[in-house]
Structure 1
C-alpha cells in the first residue's frame, strides 16, 4: 500500500443519532481555515444514503408514517464499524488519525477503538455515550445520573413501534407545538427559533433501533490503550453533565494508566454545529507537536466552567 505520510493528524468525525455528516460542516470549514485536516463520515443509511419516508413529506400521512418500512432496519453496529474502519485505514495513509464521535456516535468510536486500536492515535467523545461498566446506551439511560435528561420529550415524538419497524422514527417536522419545544429544550438550548427550525429540517427521521441495545463497552486491552479526550457539554439536557462525568470516571477506573483528557464547553447537546470553543479544542488536539498546552480559549473553558 502506497502512502503519502505528511505527519499531520486527520480528524475523522462521526455523527450522532438521526443525523449526518452535514452537521459538522461549519466546524470543518473553521478547522480548514486553521490548516487542520478533517473528514466527516456519513454512517450507513445516513446523509446521501438516508431514507425519507414518502409519508414524512408534506402533507404528512401520520398513519402511513407509523408503518412505512425502512431499509435502515437491517443495519447493525457492525456495518457502522466496518464503514468507519475503512475510512480510518484510508486516512491513516497520510498520517495520525483522531477519531471523534458526538452523542450516539460514541458507540461507534468505542467499537472501532476495540477493533483497530493501532490505527487510532486518539479517541474524542463530544458529549457522547462512552460505555464502560454497563453494556449499552439503554443501560445508562436508566441510571441516576441520567435522571435530569429531557430525552423523554424527544422520545414522545416517535412514530410507530421500533420493535416492528426496526428503526426509531422521529417526526421532526411535526406541527405539534410540543415537538418544537422538545427540540429546543432537549437539543438546541440557546438556539434562536429560526435555528431550531433549521435543526428540525436537518435531522433525519429514521435511525436503526439496534444501536442503543448493542454492547458498546470499551475494552481495556484495545480501546483502553488509545489516548482519550472527553469534551463535556455543561448545558447538555439530553446527556446530563452528571452522566458525562460518570463516563469519564468509569473510563479512568478501567485505564488508570491512561486517564481522560477532559475539556468543558458551555453548550447544549447540538453544540458542535456552532461553538467556536469546540474548534479551539480540536485545533489544539491536532497541533503538529502532540502534548502542547491548550490554547488560551480552550484552557479557559477547561478551568473556568462546568
Structure 2
C-alpha cells in the first residue's frame, strides 16, 4: 500500500462527488485518495450559501486536511480548484510532495481577472442563460443546473462533456452545487515562485476542453515555465472538462506515475 495520499480539490459549482470515480480508481490500485468539499459546497452547504466565503476559507479547509494526513501528499486540482491549490502551495509548500493541475487555473502574471481570452469558452457564453440572480445583489453566483431547456442542456453538454452522453451529463449536473463564491483573493492565488516553485508540479492538459480552453491551459504552463527554474511536467488527455473525472483511467495513469521527492 502506497503511503502517498492524493488530496482532490474540485472546481466551481462542484463538490467532492465529482472526484468519486477518480478516488475509486486510485483506491482500487492500492493508493489513498481523499476528495475535499470546499467550504459551502456539497455536504458543507450552508443556509447562507456562499456569501462571505473567501479564498482564506478554502485554503484553511484544504490545509487542515493536509496537516491531518501522514506521509506525502499530492494535491490535485480541477478547473477553478487550481486557484485554491496554488494558494495552499504558496502557504504550506512543506506539507506537499507534488501539485497537479487538471485543466485547472494556475495564475502567474496576474490574478484570474487578468486572464481574459479573445475567444470566450463555451461555459462563458452560456453563463448569462443560467444565472438566476444578479450576483451584485445577492453576493454570490447562483445558477440553474436543473434546467430542462434543451438549448441550455445542449450548451452545457458542449461546455462540459461533449464526449459523453446526455444521461452522463444529467448525472454530473445532479451532483453540482447551484451557488458559488464571488470572493477571490487575486494575490493569494498567484504562483509565488519562491514557495510554490519549490514543489514538483504537473499540468494535465485536456485537449477537448471547452470550459477551460486549451489555449488558456497552455498560457498557464508557459507563464509558469518562464519564471521558474523547473518547468511543468505535462501530460495530455483527449477528453472534455469533466470527462477526465468521469472516465478516470487515463488520469489515474498520470497520477500514479508521479514520483514525489
State the TM-score bracket (shorter-chain normalisation).
over 0.9
Tell me if structure 2 keeps the 8 A contact 1:122–1:228: yes
C-alpha separation in 1, matches of 2:31 and 2:131 = 38
Question: 1:143 aligned to 117, 126, 129, which one?
Answer: 117
Tell me if structure 1 keeps the 8 A contact 2:204–2:236: yes
Question: 1:253 aligned to 226, 233, 248, which one?
Answer: 226
Tell me if structure 2 keeps the 8 A contact 1:148–1:237: no
Q: Helix, strand or coil: the match of 1:277?
A: helix
After TM superposition, the structure 1 = structure 2 runs for residues 205-244 of structure 1, keeping only pairs within 5 Å, are 205-211=178-184, 214-215=186-187, 216-244=189-217
Tell me if structure 2 keeps the 8 A contact 1:172–1:179: no
**Equivalent residue number for residue 72 of structure 1:** 50
- Count how many residue pairs are aligned between Structure 1 and Structure 2: 258
Where in structure 1 are there 5+ consecutive unaligned residues?
1-5, 53-69, 292-306
After TM superposition, the structure 1 = structure 2 runs for residues 42-191 of structure 1, keeping only pairs within 5 Å, are 42-51=37-46, 70-91=48-69, 94-136=70-112, 138-140=113-115, 142-144=116-118, 147-156=119-128, 157-191=130-164
Where in structure 2 are there 5+ consecutive unaligned residues?
none
Tell me if structure 1 keeps the 8 A contact 2:2–2:30: no
Q: Helix, strand or coil: the match of 1:86?
A: helix
C-alpha separation in 1, matches of 2:28 and 2:237 = 21
1:183 offset after TM fit, Å?
1.2
1:181 offset after TM fit, Å?
1.4
**Equivalent residue number for residue 240 of structure 2:** 268
Tell me if structure 1 keeps the 8 A contact 2:101–2:203: yes
Deviating beyond 6 angstroms after TM superposition, the runs of 4 or more aligned structure 1 residues are none
- The 10-residue stretch of structure 1 (37-46 or 269-278) with the greater mean CA deviation from structure 2: 269-278
Q: Helix, strand or coil: the match of 1:73?
A: coil
C-alpha separation in 2, matches of 1:49 and 1:250 = 34
Larger Rg: 1
Question: 1:280 aligned to 242, 253, 261, which one?
Answer: 253
C-alpha separation in 1, matches of 2:175 and 2:222 = 33
Question: 1:9–1:81: structure 2 CA closer, same or farther, 3 Å change rule?
Answer: same
1:51 offset after TM fit, Å?
4.9
* TM value normalised by structure 2: 0.94
1:24 offset after TM fit, Å?
0.7
C-alpha separation in 1, matches of 2:102 and 2:2 = 24
C-alpha separation in 1, matches of 2:117 and 2:238 = 23
C-alpha separation in 2, matches of 1:209 and 1:154 = 18
